[in-house]
Amino acid sequence: MFDIKIGTLIGAKNSLDTIPVLNPKGFESYELTFGLNEVNEMNFEEFGKKLREVRGESVIGALGYYRNPIASEEDRAEVIRLIENAHYFDCDTVGVFAGGDPTLKHFEDNIPIFKKVWEPIVKLAESKGVKIGFENCAGFNNIACLPYMWERMFDAIDSPNLGLEWEPAHALGALRDPIPELRTWAKKVVHLHGKDGTNCKDIIAKYGINGLVPWHYDRTPGFGDTNWADVFTILLYNGFKGSCDIEGYHDLVHFDDMEWTGQLTGLEYLKRCRGGTEYFFGPEKERGYQGNRREKLGL
């Protein structure tokens, strides 16, 4: 089967109703997102049983909680509880913001407190077989938004269970090229957000990036600047096996009544870019001369 499953982000509290509607449309994976107190209030064992009844062959690609674990003990406790209960979802990945102390002047100043806060959480994740993925979203509640910070963070805590929840939109929004960025960091990617972006070069050329005219827009994959065939090629070549879940509700024009039509278009586009929309094993004697793909790619 395909080594990368394609799906979408949905709210955990609505997932029992949402997944049966989306499964027939070909969504293969779901990241379940949690808001404040939703983790603390959930009976994971009971909810996990109900979820297995509705999700069929689809998988839970990640559990997401996007607040500030460095600044908030409450947020820290929510992340810990997600890690402790991820097995009820048959899920081994938790997506988060790294957090940040808003009183500090520079991102680098957060490294000592980052290590203090996250080291025991990472040890817990290791003991539970759970991977933690820091989303590369910009903002001071998430110091994991810049490649130079990734170097410092992964030097501070060296663990195979600590990585990135990556998407090209955040690189584009910072005027970085996402493809060489991904090529450098592919082995640390544990989960993908399917969100792209468009940089309007004509607007940048005329007004610059500090004017009153917007120059960057988030887009659903297939409508933005990124060639996702390149994204998946780099990831597969580096042994990635997991999920890419579309992060909707951001597109410039395909939202509201066009949200799910746009996501369906993105779903088909991403499936083609990952290698196909339909898995076909084919005649085993006609496989060519390249040898065992999974062995060569480390899958």
Closest CA to 263 of 196, 170, 174: 196
Is the per-residue pLDDT at 148 higher than 80?
yes
Strands (E), the chain: 4-11, 29-34, 59-65, 93-96, 131-135, 162-166, 189-194, 196-199, 216-219, 242-246
Residue 163 main-chain phi, psi, to 5 deg: -155, -155
Q: What local confidence, expressed as pLDDT, does residue 145 receive?
A: 94
Q: CB–CB of 135/93 below 8 Å? A: no
Give the whole-angstrom CA distance, residue 124 versus residue 146. Answer: 25
Chain-centre distance for alpha carbon 150: 16
Phi first, then psi: give them for residue 10, nearest 5 degrees.
Answer: -140, 155
pLDDT at 212 over 90: no
- Residue ranges per domain, the chain? 4-297
pLDDT at 9: 98
pLDDT tens for each residue of 72-104: 999 999 999 999 999 999 999 999 999 999 888
pLDDT in tens, 282-294: 998 888 888 899 9
Tokens standing for 168?
């090209």
E runs forming strands in 146-219: 162-166, 189-194, 196-199, 216-219
Domain spanning 4-297, CATH class = alpha beta
Half-sphere exposure (Cβ direction) of 250: Cα atoms closer than 13 Å: 22
- CB half-sphere exposure, 166, CA atoms < 13 A: 28
Whether 140 shows a pLDDT value over 80: the answer reads no
Q: What are 159-197's pLDDT values in tens digits?
A: 999 999 999 999 999 999 999 999 999 999 999 999 999
pLDDT at 284: 86
211 versus 191: the higher-pLDDT residue is 191
Q: Give CA separation, 178 vs 172, 182, 186, 269, 278, in Å.
A: 7, 6, 11, 18, 28
- Ramachandran angles phi, psi of 133, nearest 5°: -115, 120
